[in-house]
Structure 1
Amino acid sequence: MTYYHVSFENPLTFYLQIQLMVEVPAEATAPLGLQLPAWRPGRYELQNFAQKIQHVEVSDAETDEPLPYRKTTKDRWEVAGAAGRSVRVRYNFYAHQMDAGGSWLDETQLYLNPVQALMYAEGQQDAPCQLALALPPNWRLACGLPQLAPNVLQAANFDQLADAPLIASPTIQHEQYEAGGVPFHVWAQGEEALVNWPRLLADFKAFSEEQLALFGGLPVADYHFLNQFLPYKHYHGVEHHNSTVVVLGPAELLMHEALYKELLGVSCHELFHTWNIKAIRPAEMQPYDYARENYFRTCYIAEGITTYYGEYLLARSHVRTPAQYFEELNLVLRKHYDDAGGQNLSLADASMDLWLDGYKPGVPDRKVSVYHKGALAALLLDLTIRQLHGHTRSLDDVLRQLYEEFGKTGRGYTDEDYARVVTEVAGRKMQVYFNKFINGTAPLQEPLDKALHTVGCQLVAHENVSASEGIFGFRTVVKNERTEITYIWPNSPAAAVFTADDEVLAINGRRVDMNLQSLLSTEAPHYEVAVFRQNRLVVVDLVAQPGVGFGPRYTVEKLAEADDAQRAGFQKWLGWEF
């Protein structure tokens, strides 16, 4: 058993005091290794949590004798002479990161993601863990782990402990509902949150039941939605073993349409991860290796399919209408076609490169999003399987088979396993799909439009009304009254004369001041443009060339006229009458 104790002396400093106690076997010959996780499941990049560790002390727990130790990497420590001893490790952890993967301490709450803050003893990751929290007497504890005693949590191993965020607060709200015989707990931290509990619980119950019906049961005994509702704008969610943390704001607008739809979307998405990544897990992550990157080629499955189902199931469960679903789908389309990176990197390679630069803009046109293109590829696959089998089979069947073969057995799957299951469900070779859209960079527009027609819908291309984007191929942003170029479409007219970060000053002698589009919309064959480039004045000749810059805006829309088969397909796909 590894024992952890978390307390705090002055919440205004944001520092937690952490202790861990570990028994080292007498026969141990190597030094005791202590590892702090270098990353967290749900975000596949190294995060260097050790930056938050202060003042490490190691001692014999029985005699309080200091034990010598040394740091061997940025997040690993070695303790010599620990054999046969009960070792106590003390340190401070800086809890001042309010997002769904962070930790936070102030006078109103303790919010902790253990994966950030708790070291583990190498070789003892599979041992049971106990976490005791020193909390004020009127504070309430929300966590997916069972409580052995007040404020004492029990985990089967370090992995389960690391994957169990908690919130302790005197003001946290709690409600629950049942779906498929499983208790679901909804926790809300944030005094400003005005929650319409009857509506929220009814909507959550509806999409939970839809997911349970899809998979045939939940992999865990209960589930906890841990919500941080903030007084300022924010959006983030992270999945865990039997819980999720969702951070949203501003809290007073929670039940307004714009923010409430975000709450529904992220909550449905994160619950879906309970199957798709927590239970159905890539082979490279069975088990997690917290000390280094866990490269895997299948994040387009873990995140792309989940992004698709996160919004789709809200429509299928009648929490959202088809029109509302199409609004979200159109947003995914816009984000996918917002740059040219999809021409240069496949979904499978982008999965690997999450560890490189998957969560930041990066250099222009280098990569594609496993979330956005992954969701569109999942939609294409779902509609293709449905068309092949008259809607008697779908992507649902692929997921169910993955759950039976891998989720329920604890075996990890590979990209070859996924391709095999897809082929078995489709009943035909699907190599073209994988070659083009998963391992290749083929465009999705034509096959996606064709597939949408089978369910009475279409992919509509709308002209890009922005002159700078549609005619010339560049995008700008106004910062402190400065019009700066942020992105240039490859091989466009803008690419021949501009560079990113150019400040546009004047067009044909007219000062640019919130009038860029009108100045570029005179239908002249070319324009004289003055820019500041690296604080030097440059004048260039910008040639008009429609159709070479940014492409059209794509949206999914219902066909004006659909035949009976298309109408029936729409109903079987979305669960709504056409």
Structure 2
Amino acid sequence: MIQYRVSYENPLTFYLQVEMTLAVPAEGPAPLALQLPAWRPGRYELQNFAQKIQKVEISDAATGQVLPYRKTTKDRWEVAEAAGKDLKIKYNFYAHQMDAGGSWLDENQLYLNPVQCLMYAEGREQEECELALALPEGWQVACGLPHGAPNVLQAQNFDQLADAPLIASPTLMHQQYEAGGLPFHVWVQGAAPLHWPRVLADFKAFSEEQLQLFGGFPVADYHFLNQLLPYKHYHGVEHHNSTVITLGPAELIMTEALYKEFLGVSCHELFHTWNIKSIRPAEMQPYDYARENYFRTCFIAEGITTYYGEYLLARSHVRTPAQYFEELGTVLHKHFTDAGPDNLSLADASVDLWLDGYKPGVPDRKVSVYHKGALAALLLDLTLRQLSGHARSLDDVMRRLYSEFGQTGIGYTEADYIRLVEEVAGRKMGAYFDKFIYGLEPLAPPLDKVLHTVGCQLLVAENGSASEGRFGFRTVVTRNERTEVSGIWPGSPAAAALTVDDEVVAVNGRRVDLNLQTLLSTGGPSYEISVFRQHRLVTVTLTATKGTSYGPRYSVAKLSEADAAQREGFAKWLGWEF
């Protein structure tokens, strides 16, 4: 067994002390290689956790003799004289990252994502592991791993240990509910005025809906680990039988705006227990923590999960259809007000997550696997329902993925997914994949068409912003109240006159002071725009022309009149009467 111990001396420094102990056989590999993960599942980019490591010391545990080692990469260490010894590896880890993928230490809690801070011995990832926590008296531990003794957690292998975040605190709140005969735990760290009866009823409803969809659960229990923070925040990360959700401000948790986010991210992360933790791409069977794990199917892992995360809240009657359509409108807005989908396919965007998927990047380069992926999933679901008269749907594809791959531990490929979709559809689906997964075909026309089959439509409203709708540029007001150009639609009137980072100071000689839209809405055919560009004052002419600008606002709504088939389709899709 490989043993780990985490302790701390002064929480004000944010440094944890980590010890790793393992016995190396006399005939063991020479040298012994120790690897710190370079990334974490759930965020597909290299994160270089080793930059948080301080003062690595390796010794013979029996004699205390310090052993020499050699660092060979940014996060890999080799010990030449390890054979036949019990090794003790010690180092400090800086735990000062409060988000759903981070670790945090202060006087009131220890929050740990082991994947960030625990090394593993190459070739011994399948050995049992034990993690002991040195904690003050009276602290509770919230974690999906079983306890071997107080404050000692047991894992079957490194992968299970790395995928088991924990919160230890004297102020943890805990509630429990049952769904499908299984226990679900809700842990909360933070001062939040939760209305527990409502929270537990809503969580139970969407949990049962997911269990019914898949017909089983990959794990024996589940833990929602919530960090409810005193400031605005939103993040969630999925794990083997748990999730960490960081959300705030905590005092507003039961308000409509924040509670819907709480429900949405919780439902989304629970769905990941099947879709990515159990139903895993072939490229990630097993995870390789030392380098990128490129895969082209994140539009399944994240896109389909994003679709179901909100959709199932409506289907389980936690949210109304109108509330669901409001969330769909947000996804539509994020997708259609970005020119990136004209330039990169969903499949290629999946690969490019490892390149720049989690930051804005250069303008108009990429597409979101979350937003376009969710809309492509909606299109596929309604198409499958239309083809089968609602006898089959995307639910059937997900069930097949779970039975053939999730329950067997076999990784699926792109070809496997296409095969299952076509078997559920009862026909070839090449056009769907060629246009919307591997191609750049616009989604709006086909979405409107399939929405009509369930008594709904895609509404188009004029862009109310003069700068966006008429001229094709966006602005942001900085902290010092400067109005700066933050985005320009390709081929728009603004593209011929402005550039990103221009500071707009005047329109037709009138100073811009939080009044840009008013100044651009006088109806004139052209405007003289004064900007500071690279600290030089430049005046350009902005002419309104018929052409490409930031598009209209899309939303989903019920048809004012729907026939019997459309009404029936609506009820079968959403589980609500029309």
How many Å apart are 1:547 and its aligned residue? 4.5
Q: Is the 8 A contact 1:112 1:165 kept in 2?
A: yes
**Distance in 1 (alpha carbons) for counterparts of 2:26 and 2:88:** 16
Structure 2 unmatched ranges of 5 or more: none
Give a deviation string over 1:305-324, Cα, whole Å, max 9, x none.
00000000000000000000
1:541 aligns with 2:541: yes
> Which residue in 1 is equivalent to 2:229?
230
**Distance in 2 (alpha carbons) for counterparts of 1:131 and 1:495:** 57
How many Å apart are 1:548 and its aligned residue? 2.1
How many Å apart are 1:40 and its aligned residue? 0.2
Where do 1:310-321 residues align within 5 Å?
310-321=309-320
The letter for the 2-side match of 1:241 is H
Q: Is the 8 A contact 2:490 2:548 kept in 1?
A: no
> Which residue in 2 is equivalent to 1:112?
112
**Distance in 1 (alpha carbons) for counterparts of 2:29 and 2:414:** 40
> Which residue in 1 is equivalent to 2:241?
242
Q: Is the 8 A contact 1:473 1:548 kept in 2?
A: yes
> Which residue in 2 is equivalent to 1:448?
447
**Distance in 2 (alpha carbons) for counterparts of 1:117 and 1:218:** 29
The letter for the 2-side match of 1:318 is H
Q: Is the 8 A contact 2:491 2:547 kept in 1?
A: no
How many Å apart are 1:514 and its aligned residue? 1.3
How many Å apart are 1:409 and its aligned residue? 0.3
> Which residue in 2 is equivalent to 1:528?
528
How many Å apart are 1:546 and its aligned residue? 4.2
- What is the aligned-residue RMSD (CA, Å)? 0.6
**Distance in 1 (alpha carbons) for counterparts of 2:28 and 2:397:** 47
Where do 1:408-419 residues align within 5 Å?
408-419=407-418
Q: How many residue pairs were aligned?
A: 577
**Distance in 2 (alpha carbons) for counterparts of 1:322 and 1:234:** 26
Q: Is the 8 A contact 1:187 1:225 kept in 2?
A: yes
> Which residue in 1 is equivalent to 2:189?
189
> Which residue in 2 is equivalent to 1:368?
367
The letter for the 2-side match of 1:283 is A
1:53 aligns with 2:53: yes
Give a deviation string over 1:448-504, Cα, whole Å, max 9, x none.
000000000000111111111111000001111211000000010100011000011
Where do 1:126-137 residues align within 5 Å?
126-137=126-137
> Which residue in 2 is equivalent to 1:18?
18
Where do 1:147-166 residues align within 5 Å?
147-166=147-166
**Distance in 2 (alpha carbons) for counterparts of 1:62 and 1:440:** 61
> Which residue in 2 is equivalent to 1:324?
323
- Judge which range, 439-448 or 25-34, deviates more: 25-34
- The runs of 4+ residues in structure 1 deviating greater than 2 Å are none
- The secondary structure found in structure 2 opposite 1:145 is coil
Give a deviation string over 1:247-302, Cα, whole Å, max 9, x none.
11111111111111100000000000000000000000000000000000000000
Q: Is the 8 A contact 1:506 1:531 kept in 2?
A: yes
Q: Is the 8 A contact 1:236 1:248 kept in 2?
A: yes
Where do 1:203-352 residues align within 5 Å?
203-352=202-351
The letter for the 1-side match of 2:498 is F
> Which residue in 2 is equivalent to 1:81?
81
1:63 aligns with 2:63: yes
The letter for the 2-side match of 1:345 is L
Where do 1:369-388 residues align within 5 Å?
369-388=368-387
**Distance in 1 (alpha carbons) for counterparts of 2:29 and 2:346:** 45
**Distance in 2 (alpha carbons) for counterparts of 1:35 and 1:548:** 51
**Distance in 1 (alpha carbons) for counterparts of 2:29 and 2:523:** 80
> Which residue in 2 is equivalent to 1:407?
406
The letter for the 1-side match of 2:357 is G
The letter for the 2-side match of 1:147 is H
Identity of aligned residues (%): 78
How many Å apart are 1:28 and its aligned residue? 2.1
- The secondary structure found in structure 2 opposite 1:183 is strand
**Distance in 2 (alpha carbons) for counterparts of 1:108 and 1:101:** 19
**Distance in 1 (alpha carbons) for counterparts of 2:17 and 2:546:** 62
**Distance in 2 (alpha carbons) for counterparts of 1:414 and 1:30:** 36
- The secondary structure found in structure 2 opposite 1:450 is helix
**Distance in 2 (alpha carbons) for counterparts of 1:232 and 1:29:** 49
The letter for the 2-side match of 1:338 is T
Give a deviation string over 1:82-113, Cα, whole Å, max 9, x none.
01111100000000000000000001000000
**Distance in 2 (alpha carbons) for counterparts of 1:492 and 1:251:** 42
> Which residue in 2 is equivalent to 1:505?
505
The letter for the 2-side match of 1:93 is F
Q: Is the 8 A contact 2:471 2:493 kept in 1?
A: yes
Structure 1 unmatched ranges of 5 or more: none
Q: Is the 8 A contact 1:488 1:494 kept in 2?
A: yes
- The secondary structure found in structure 2 opposite 1:296 is coil
> Which residue in 1 is equivalent to 2:173?
173
The letter for the 1-side match of 2:282 is A
The letter for the 1-side match of 2:448 is D
How many Å apart are 1:29 and its aligned residue? 4.0
How many Å apart are 1:116 and its aligned residue? 0.2
**Distance in 2 (alpha carbons) for counterparts of 1:29 and 1:453:** 64
> Which residue in 1 is equivalent to 2:35?
35
Give a deviation string over 1:110-134, Cα, whole Å, max 9, x none.
0000000000000100000000001
- Judge which range, 540-549 or 58-67, deviates more: 540-549
1:123 aligns with 2:127: no
- The secondary structure found in structure 1 opposite 2:454 is coil
The letter for the 2-side match of 1:481 is E
1:495 aligns with 2:495: yes
- The secondary structure found in structure 1 opposite 2:556 is strand
**Distance in 1 (alpha carbons) for counterparts of 2:193 and 2:72:** 49
The alignment's TM-score, normalised by the length of structure 1, stands at: 0.99
How many Å apart are 1:440 and its aligned residue? 0.5
How many Å apart are 1:512 and its aligned residue? 1.0
Q: Is the 8 A contact 1:470 1:546 kept in 2?
A: no
